[in-house]
Amino acid sequence: MSLPFSPEEFMISKQELELNPSSRVPICLVLDTSYSMNGEPIKELNNGVKLFMEAIRRDDIACASAELSLVTFGGEVKQLFDFGSIHRQTIPHLAVEGVTPMGAAVNHALDLLERRKSMYSDSGVDYFQPWIVIMTDGAPTDDITIAAQRTSELVSNKKLTVFPIGIGPHADMTTLHQFSPKRRPLRLKGLRFVEFFEWLSKSVSAVSQSTPGEKVKTEAVDDWAEL
Amino acid sequence: MTITHWKIANAQTAGRGHLKSNIPCQDYTYSMQENGLTILLLADGAGYAKHSHKGAEAVVKKTASLLADHFDEYFTAEDDDQLKRVIIRELHEEIKMIEGFEGDIKQYASTLLFIAIKGDQYVAGHIGDGLIGKEQDGELKVFSFPENGQFVNTTFFVTSEDAWKHFRLYKGLVGTAAGFVLMSDGTAESLFNKKEERLAPAITRMFEWLRDHPSQKISAVLANNLDAVIKEQTHDDCSIAIASLVTLDPEVLLAADNEYLRDFMGTHSRLPDERKPSNPELGQEIADGAPSE
């Protein structure tokens, strides 16, 4: 059908529009790299993180929205990178070391998140509800009370989603549950890190495309979680 | 001596996300003129709600009828909170009347934006995100800001709990305002700078187009721009409704062609529901916002 006007005459140019930054999905991975993760677990965890970052990079919308930070706890708390575009982050190689300071790691992740949220507000960047993924194969070797209180309060006020994931039979699911009053911790099926991170990347993609009021549907977790 | 009158145009289009998943456009716009009253309306159906496209249409048309019937009453009402409750109640009742209503009004959730102008008075309202802007003394200004929850994908709807508390009702005198624009959040991605709280120059151009060309044509132009340009910066549905004030010398009006005169007389617009155009022969359907898919 022909238009009742000349499109060229009545076409807005990009220069007449405003450009807003993409709305961001902040995601923090808090990963156990203590010595008990030695061998196949750390190898599969590395594979999973690599796959996750590559999958997000392949999805234009998710890549423009997702901002990843990575904190590990093995011997000491390490911040591998602060929140930023996955496109510009180097895929890390995680190595095992020492004990399991989970409480300090979660606290550090929350501090990074608070700082990022302030930056979003100051720069007029909209953001989706932040996510923290906590993965461990054991029990913390430090006090998690304050960190668990902080995450629980944020979750209760709908300001945070926590994904607590246990690895192997020795993961302390009771402790993980303390970080997440709503979403119960799930235990990884075997060493299906790759399947978990694939699910996580699809969930990030779904959220990055969601619109106000939309309830984001994530895929079933039975591929990677023991149910 | 000069003569002034408002001209109106509106359009909406399904977003890329909805086209991909075969979901209908959930934005609905409407504009009308009757008995000296000019009304723009827009509603953006909630993404999660199964029937939000029907809800958006129902609340837009019902609000149009309420404004057409009760403008003076609303303008002079002293208890705004009571008025908000009454309008929300009417809208909920209207949703329940939708054919095949499935029992949960939240499945028909939408935002609502409107402005009605009569003489030098206006009544405007806004629930949720999207934005109302105006042109005054040659400058674009935000008239009503988006209201989101803490996160970008949360907002308030006509069907939300205590919706009246999020119903921003504005009444006053038009003064030197010469243009109004309603837009959904999808359109605002391109026409509103969130950090600077600034409206895009494109809006001025749209007002000018409408002043210089027939309403029907500019509704088609707006639809074309939503599809070709605005939609590229979002995955959401996009919609817009505009009103431009035209100031004319009487001589110009005497020499104007018939199409222009129809705009001037408001006979291009029509009323929703069972209402009839004031002159059926001249009445043409420019205002109805059937979603384009």
Dihedrals phi, psi of B255, to nearest 5 degrees: -90, 0
Position A102 pLDDT exceeds 90: yes
CATH number at residue B139: 3.60.40.10
Position B87 pLDDT exceeds 70: yes
Chain A interface mutation, best of B19, B152, B242, highest count of A Cβ atoms under 10 Å: B152
Judge contact between A132 and A109, C-beta under 8 A: yes
ipTM exceeding 0.85? no
Position B263 pLDDT exceeds 70: no
- Range A140-148 average pLDDT: 96
Domains: count for chain B? 1
- For residues A122, A126, A128, A130, the Cα torsion angle rounded to the nearest 10 degrees is -20
| CB crowding A178-199: b at 16 or more within 10 Å, else e | bbbeeeebbbbeebbbbbbbbb
Is B169 contained in some domain?
A: yes
Is B175 contained in some domain?
A: yes
Nearest to B171 by CA among B125, B203, B103: B125
- Range A150-177 average pLDDT: 93
If you measure CA to CA, which chain B residue comes closest to A158? B150
CB atoms within 10 A of CB A4: 11
A-facing residues of B in 178-237 (CB < 8 A) are: 185-186, 189-196, 198-202, 205-206, 209, 213, 216-217, 220-221, 224-225, 228-230, 233, 235-236
Report DSSP letters for A108-130, one per residue.
Answer: HHHHHHHHHHHHHHHHT--BPPP
pLDDT score recorded for residue A140: 95
Q: Which residues have a Cβ under 8 Å from the Cβ of B165 and sit 6 or more positions away?
A: none
Domain segments of chain A as ranges: 32-131+165-208
Instruction: Find where tokens 């404004």 sit.
Output: B67
Average pLDDT, chain B: 87
Q: SS3 of A77, please?
A: strand
Is B283 contained in some domain?
A: no
Is B270 contained in some domain?
A: no
Is B39 contained in some domain?
A: yes
Position A145 pLDDT exceeds 90: yes
pLDDT score recorded for residue B171: 97
Q: B161 at the A interface (CB within 8 A)?
A: no
Distance from CA of A5 to the nearest CA of B (A): 7
pLDDT tens-digit profile of B150-174? Answer: 787 789 999 998 899 999 999 999 9
Is B271 contained in some domain?
A: no
Confidence of residue A42 (pLDDT cuts 50, 70, 90): very high
H or E element, residue B228:
helix B215-228
- Pairs from B79-87 (Cβ < 8 Å, separation ≥ 24): B80/B169, B80/B171, B81/B164, B83/B169, B84/B164, B84/B167, B84/B169, B85/B164, B87/B63, B87/B125, B87/B167
- Range B27-55 average pLDDT: 94
Confidence of residue B271 (pLDDT cuts 50, 70, 90): very low
Q: Give residue B256's domain range.
A: 3-265
pLDDT score recorded for residue A205: 82
Judge contact between B166 and B127, C-beta under 8 A: yes
The CATH architecture that domain A32-131+165-208 belongs to is 3-Layer(aba) Sandwich (3.40)
Chain B interface mutation, best of A8, A10, A12, highest count of B Cβ atoms under 10 Å: A12
**HSE-CB for B28 with a 13 A CA cutoff:** 27
List of chain B residues whose C-beta atoms are within 8 Å of the C-beta of residue A18: 190-193, 198-200
Written as six digits, the tokens of A13 are 């140019």
Is B174 contained in some domain?
A: yes
H or E element, residue A65:
helix A60-65
Is B279 contained in some domain?
A: no
pLDDT tens-digit profile of B55-74? Answer: 999 999 999 999 999 999 99
Confidence of residue B250 (pLDDT cuts 50, 70, 90): confident
Q: B265 at the A interface (CB within 8 A)?
A: no
pLDDT score recorded for residue A2: 64
